[in-house]
Structure 1
Amino acid sequence: MLKNCFYEGMTEAGCDEAGRGCLAGSVFAAAVILPPGYHNELLNDSKQLSEKSRYALREVIQKEAVAWAVGIVTPEEIDKVNILNASILAMHRALDQLKVRPEAVIVDGNRFKPYRDIPYSTIVKGDGKYLSIAAASILAKTYRDDYMRQLDAEYPQYDWKGNKGYPTKKHREAIKTHGATPYHRRTFNLLGDTQLSLVFKEE
């Protein structure tokens, strides 16, 4: 059973990101503050849930959370600051948008940078341990999936509605055939080898 909070007696925001390992698209992150003593036995790490369950839980989270927000960092920004810094920046942007100021932050994973002067803790596999991080993982995942479906309508040959920008064989074959799009991350190894310079067309 997932725990309610890490910092007892404090208004705590859970944070998680989605899309860090993708070849294309923005990285998304969410921040969620749940009510004190909140319980929902269906909440879990988004990767452990079906797509239908994730979207159903998104509605519940948005209705029942004290506050929630989603932050986005674009492919251009990812290439400038690297994906780790971009993931943290997306979390900071989500925290910036919360309508309630958190007194503490808990983050999935083992890397974060201080947010203002608020205490924080990084928790490996936190999305499977704490409700607010699990809720954040669901929001980040579903909003990013919606975004990748929109991009798929623009570039259907890359199957982004199916792979969501992750490095599947079909995705890499499409990059070899059609080249890279403006949504691809130029600093990533798009072909799974060293041929980075071959997939970007002259501008």
Structure 2
Amino acid sequence: MSAVIPATTAAKANAPARQRPGVRSKAPTLRHERTFKAQGARYLAGVDEVGRGALAGPVSVGIAVVDLHSQKPLAGVRDSKLLSPAERERLEPLVRRWSVASAVGHASAREIDELGIIAALRLAGTRAWQDILAAGVSPDVVLLDGSHNWLSPAGQPSLFDAPPTDFACLAPVHTKIKADMQCLSVAAASVIAKVERDQQMRGLHSEYPDFGWDINKGYATANHRDALRAAGATPYHRVSWNLLGGEL
């Protein structure tokens, strides 16, 4: 598997909206989530991932469950990419208290290398789902950012899929492109996933400070790749990926 992430793309992904001219977004709402009430759903799980395109560190999946009968909006929440680090840190505990239940699951760089990114996303999402169930909440429906359902168990497991689990997400999963920008439950999930993953990357930075993970969070910045050229990959790098963008 090969993934080449331009440094400029990675830098933009980590920059808050005010540093990216032209970014405009309306506040996400629960309008789309509430359409599922007509299907008899009460508890909806908004799901989003972070770290998919990084060269190092885990891929992380956040879940924020809302009660479609009584949930009120939460001011200030946006897709995590549109918030500054300080804004995300301020909002994270608010999102946790606002949600009926919330969780973040992770799959390590080694698991990404062994399973592939889609199966690793499913593994991280299943770990978060297990925590939701352990909290005594069983969502009726899932709203997943994007166009591909990587959360449900694979119908035809391949050699690269994670082992099946009794705690896999069996609720109906609905995908929506740009759900993280339009749907409050998914935006909330993105905030808690981003904050928790960033905290992990700052911890890993203390082990390998030359890579600048406290700043780039494992994405492919120029400084990150310079450190890779000088020191080589660490145990936290996704070594099955093309880490140097064609230079290896």
TM-score over 0.5 for the pair: yes
User: CA, structure 1 residues 116+136, in 2 after alignment: closer, same or farther (shift >3 Å)?
Assistant: closer
| Contact 2:204/2:213 (<8 A) preserved | yes
| Contact 2:45/2:63 (<8 A) preserved | yes
Whether 2:47 is the aligned partner of 1:15: answer yes
**1:182 Cα deviation (Å)?**
0.5
Aligned mate of 1:73, from 85, 96, 107: 107
**1:2 Cα deviation (Å)?**
1.9
Give the 5 Å matches for 1:5-44: 5=33, 6-8=35-37, 9-35=41-67, 36-44=70-78
- 1:57 corresponding residue in structure 2: 91
Structure 2: which 5+ runs fail to align?
Answer: 1-26, 153-167
Aligned mate of 2:197, from 121, 144, 147: 144
**Counterpart code for 2:119:** N
- 2:29 corresponding residue in structure 1: 3
Deviation track 1:106-125 (CA, whole Å, cap 9, x = no partner) reads 11111224254311101111
Number of matched pairs = 195
CA distance in 2 between partners of 1:131 and 1:140 (Å):
14
**TM-score, normalising length: structure 1:** 0.91
CA distance in 2 between partners of 1:75 and 1:37 (Å):
36
CA distance in 1 between partners of 2:29 and 2:195 (Å):
22
Structure 1: which 5+ runs fail to align?
Answer: 196-203
SS in structure 1 opposite 2:204?
helix
Q: Equivalent pairs: percent with the same residue?
A: 39
SS in structure 2 opposite 1:89?
helix
Which moved further from structure 2: 48-57 or 84-93? 84-93
Whether 2:222 is the aligned partner of 1:169: answer yes
CA distance in 2 between partners of 1:181 and 1:153 (Å):
13
| Contact 1:88/1:112 (<8 A) preserved | no
- 1:125 corresponding residue in structure 2: 178
| Contact 2:126/2:169 (<8 A) preserved | no
- 1:200 corresponding residue in structure 2: none
Moved over 4 A (4+): none
